Structure 1
Amino acid sequence: MEGLLMCAPTTDSPALRVTSLFLSIDGEVNARGQGTPSFFIRLAGCNLRCWQRFGGCDTVYSFGPGTRMSVEELLARVDAAGCPKVTLTGGEPLLQKGAALAALLRGLRERGVFVSMETNGSIAPDFEGRECVGSLVYDYKCPSTGCTAAMQPFAALFRSLGSSDYMKFVLRDPADYAFARERVLEARELRDGRPCPVLAFSPMLPTAADGLPPDALVAQLLADRLFEVQVNIQMHKYVWPDAKTEV
């Protein structure tokens, strides 16, 4: 794990608004696997405000304007890190879809870097440069977030993703599990032999007193025979449970 790399101001164009850059391991599901070393580019800004009833999300620091960085600077930071995988996250990275994001993605592909992108379910995957993303990881918001109404229609989103992509559901309580289970049953009707994204259930940690701890989640998932679902235990929260900075 490497500490936070601070962003320097730039006036070059094209550019993206960046919250932070850091080298760590990827604690979430993606096509390269959890625990894979990755260079993180956390873009600034988010269009959702999840879990307002429970104190908000765990990356509120990414909601601000960030620091403007040119694509050339970002690619230079990737080169210096020397890591063959990049994770684009936020905030919400697709709020900045356009020429600059496409240029960054194409520059990463030219370098042979594998890119995973973590995004919420509110924006369809129709952005320029999508062909350069090796794994799209959609965080489809469950009822406890208060943001389910902002999600893309599940069927349309599911059909637009491929076998290296993921749709994950962060579960805080049994109501979230029931919602995610219905989406799995819906997905069974949508498969019809085409390449489909992987579905993943992630227990929210720490769980509330009335929450859904990992052992209860696994027991319920097996009892319901949801055998196509992966359980996503967020590895970084176990490696650095008390972290105060980016890891």
Structure 2
Amino acid sequence: MNGFSVVEKFISINGESRRAGELAVFVRFRGCNLRCNYCDTLWACVDTAECEYMSVQEIYEYIKSTGIKNVTLTGGEPMLQKDIKELLKLLGGDRNLRIEVETNGAVLLDEYYRTVPENISFTVDYKCPGSGMEKLMCLRNFEEIRELDTVKFVVSDRNDLDCMVKIIDTYRLTEKCMVYVSAVFGRIEPQEIVEYMTEHKLNDVRLQLQMHKFIWDPDKRGV
């Protein structure tokens, strides 16, 4: 089938990142090139996930029909979708929209950093050792990241926190962009992260909690 493989589309609040707490329209795509051992949307990553096929224009029309300005493209891994360039071009051309692309750090983004308009930002994961996927990170993404983008670390233990500090220092991330750290839900307590941040004087690093997992059941879809 042609088009984008869309497994979910819905309106909710942004549970994390710069616009946490604000309404957003979410479009979740099928398929991912990683298999993080803590993934909370694994069902969307497999090729057999039920989906609807939508064109660039259909996705845009759906987004506009909601009346919501914040747009989150997520997955799975949205940057693997065949026509993602065309979708970003159309969405980015509408300056009434603010588009956030959640991407896993394993897809090279330098071309997009140079070409997308400023109403499109990327939230780029760095997969720490606890994910089992660190070796697949495209490190150039962190060299060239823009001020309007975000790097997100999802940590499960102190070893992951140590890794985070190393990457922040190596790529001087807090001087370039926003940096967030999140806990793997159920593996590490946020208090432990705060204590680590205090111990290491992590200025300009922001702890974020996945707000939607506190409002709804952590496994609930469509929120």
TM-score by structure 2 length? 0.89
The answer to whether 1:168 aligns with 2:152 is yes
CA contact (8 A) 1:158 1:196 kept: no
- Report the Cα offset of residue 218 of structure 1: 0.6
- How many positions carry a matched residue from both structures? 217
Q: Given residue 107 of structure 1, which amino acid in structure 2 is its aligned partner?
A: L
- Report the Cα offset of residue 127 of structure 1: 4.7
Task: Give, in whole Å, the separation in 2 of the partners of 1:101 and 1:136.
Answer: 13
CA contact (8 A) 2:110 2:141 kept: no
Deviations 1:8-67 (A, max 9, x none): xxx7x6x2121110111111213xx2111100011110001111xxxx511012123433
TM-score by structure 1 length? 0.81
Structure 2 SS opposite 1:57: coil
Task: Give, in whole Å, the separation in 1 of the partners of 2:53 and 2:177.
Answer: 33
Q: Alignment partner for residue 100 of structure 2, among 101, 116, 131?
A: 116
Q: Given residue 64 of structure 1, which amino acid in structure 2 is its aligned partner?
A: V
Task: Give, in whole Å, the separation in 2 of the partners of 1:175 and 1:125.
Answer: 27
Q: Alignment partner for residue 185 of structure 2, among 192, 196, 205?
A: 205
Q: Given residue 63 of structure 1, which amino acid in structure 2 is its aligned partner?
A: C
- Report the Cα offset of residue 214 of structure 1: 0.5
Which residue of 1 is the match for residue 26 of structure 2? 40
Gaps of 5+ in 2: none
- Bigger Rg, which one: 1
Q: Given residue 123 of structure 1, which amino acid in structure 2 is its aligned partner?
A: V
- Report the Cα offset of residue 225 of structure 1: 0.6
The answer to whether 1:219 aligns with 2:219 is no
Task: Give, in whole Å, the separation in 2 of the partners of 1:49 and 1:57.
Answer: 7
Task: Give, in whole Å, the separation in 2 of the partners of 1:245 and 1:157.
Answer: 29
Q: Alignment partner for residue 96 of structure 1, among 68, 72, 81?
A: 81
Question: For the aligned residues, what is the CA RMSD?
Answer: 2.0
Structure 2 SS opposite 1:135: strand
CA contact (8 A) 2:151 2:177 kept: yes
Task: Give, in whole Å, the separation in 2 of the partners of 1:184 and 1:79.
Answer: 37
Task: Give, in whole Å, the separation in 2 of the partners of 1:113 and 1:242.
Answer: 28
- TM-aligned CA distance change 1:118 to 1:205, over 3 Å: same
Q: Given residue 228 of structure 1, which amino acid in structure 2 is its aligned partner?
A: D
User: More deviation in 66-75 or 171-180?
Assistant: 66-75
Q: Alignment partner for residue 183 of structure 1, among 167, 170, 175?
A: 167
- TM-aligned CA distance change 1:42 to 1:68, over 3 Å: same
Task: Give, in whole Å, the separation in 2 of the partners of 1:76 and 1:118.
Answer: 21
Percent identity at matched positions? Answer: 33
Gaps of 5+ in 1: 1-10
